[in-house]
């Protein structure tokens, strides 16, 4: 595929204002693309030389927030930020749809997609070569799973419409994390499952319907940060190729903690300002009546 990019680096502020900069022709395929997001913008760069292929602002704005990214196996880029989820064309950066996720607040969003076909989680697999894909099976249509503020939503990957949502009862306002497991008749999993961790609870849901298979409280702790990370042997084997997953690199959780500290500092400054103002008023009255 041919797209265009701009060679400018220093002071190239204008290049962020458009999705594509027509300057020099670049040939690339989907496997050549490295997606990165920072300062509310999303960039596609070439893995061979770092040349920018396209750039796009997060569709609803995400300045100062963390943009979560997930590239599907059907050439769509899923991005989540500020309580919203968007779908972009992987090859062009064009916005395909936006789900504003009503009721999910304005914080970071974790995003993943159920695949159109699964890598086979073979037990005792020892080859250094990556395993091949299974033949497509009856997995249902691919769906997007977006989570924030103690809730998880399933979104139709084609239309962007909500399919189902689940409010994690013990999730409070934390960012839930999710792992998708492939069906396995051998291990008693005839359906595609989603394991969700939020707060002190873990939930197992059916991916296509959101039906709860089971839930359990894993911690009774009172103190400490109320975040959870998840891993299975299968998910960890996949995550070994991507070190930016929420459960391996909890940058959004860290930003959430920083935001809480900023909120406390702001409340403290406001309180001190009010106290100072009150003292000033009292002093003025005292001086007036003396």
Domain 58-249 in CATH 2.40.128.630: yes
Segment 227-264, tens digit of pLDDT: 788 888 877 777 766 667 777 666 777 777 777 888 89
Percentage of residues in the chain having pLDDT higher than 90 = 39
The C-alpha atoms of residue 117 and residue 134 are separated, in whole angstroms, by: 7
**Residue 134 binned pLDDT confidence (cut-offs 50, 70, 90):** very low
pLDDT of residue 18: 45
pLDDT of residue 225: 67
Domain boundaries, the chain: 58-249, 250-290
**Residue 1 binned pLDDT confidence (cut-offs 50, 70, 90):** low
Q: Is the pLDDT of residue 277 over 80?
A: yes
Q: Is the pLDDT of residue 180 over 70?
A: yes
Beta strands in 12-105 (DSSP E): 24-27, 33-38, 41-46, 52-57, 68-71, 76-81, 84-89, 95-99
Mean pLDDT of the chain, nearest integer? 80
Q: Is the pLDDT of residue 44 over 60?
A: yes
Out of 33-42, 114-123, 138-147, 226-235, least confident range: 114-123
Q: Is the pLDDT of residue 153 over 60?
A: yes
Is 83 in a helix, a strand, or coil? coil
pLDDT of residue 151: 94
Segment 187-201, tens digit of pLDDT: 777 888 999 999 899
Maximum mean pLDDT: which of 133-147, 203-217, 273-287: 203-217
pLDDT of residue 106: 87
pTM over 0.85: no
The C-alpha atoms of residue 49 and residue 160 are separated, in whole angstroms, by: 34
pLDDT of residue 169: 87
Number of helices (H), then strands (E), belonging to the chain: the values are 2, 17
Burial, 162: exposed, middle or buried (Cβ in 10 Å; 0-12, 13-18, 19+)?
middle
């Amino acid at each position: 595929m041919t797209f265009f990019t701009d060679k400018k680096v220093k002071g190239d502020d204008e290049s962020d204002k458009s999705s594509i900069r027509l300057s020099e022709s670049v040939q690339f395929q989907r496997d050549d693309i490295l997606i990165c997001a920072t300062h509310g913008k999303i960039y596609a760069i070439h893995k061979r030389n770092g040349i920018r292929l396209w750039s796009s602002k997060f569709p609803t704005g995400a300045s100062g927030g963390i943009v979560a990214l997930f590239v599907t196996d059907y050439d769509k880029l899923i991005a989540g930020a500020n309580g919203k989820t968007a779908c972009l064309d992987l090859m062009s950066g064009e916005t395909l749809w936006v789900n504003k996720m009503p009721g999910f607040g304005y914080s970071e969003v974790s995003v993943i997609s159920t695949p159109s076909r699964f890598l086979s989680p073979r037990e005792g697999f020892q080859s250094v070569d990556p395993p091949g894909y299974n033949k497509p099976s009856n997995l249902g249509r691919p769906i997007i799973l977006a989570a924030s503020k103690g809730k998880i939503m399933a979104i139709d990957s084609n239309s962007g419409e909500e399919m189902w949502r689940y409010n994690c009862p013990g999730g409070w306002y934390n960012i839930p994390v999710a792992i998708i497991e492939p069906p396995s008749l051998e291990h008693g999993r005839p359906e595609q499952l989603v394991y969700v961790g939020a707060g002190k609870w873990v939930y197992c849901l059916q991916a296509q319907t959101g039906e709860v298979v089971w839930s359990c409280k894993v911690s009774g702790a009172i103190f400490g940060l109320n975040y959870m990370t998840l891993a299975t042997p299968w998910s960890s084997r996949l995550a070994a190729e991507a070190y930016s997953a929420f459960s391996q690199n909890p940058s959004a959780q860290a930003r959430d903690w920083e935001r809480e500290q900023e909120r406390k500092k702001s409340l403290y400054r406001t309180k001190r300002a009010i106290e100072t103002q009150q003292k000033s008023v009292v002093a003025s009255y005292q001086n007036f009546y003396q």
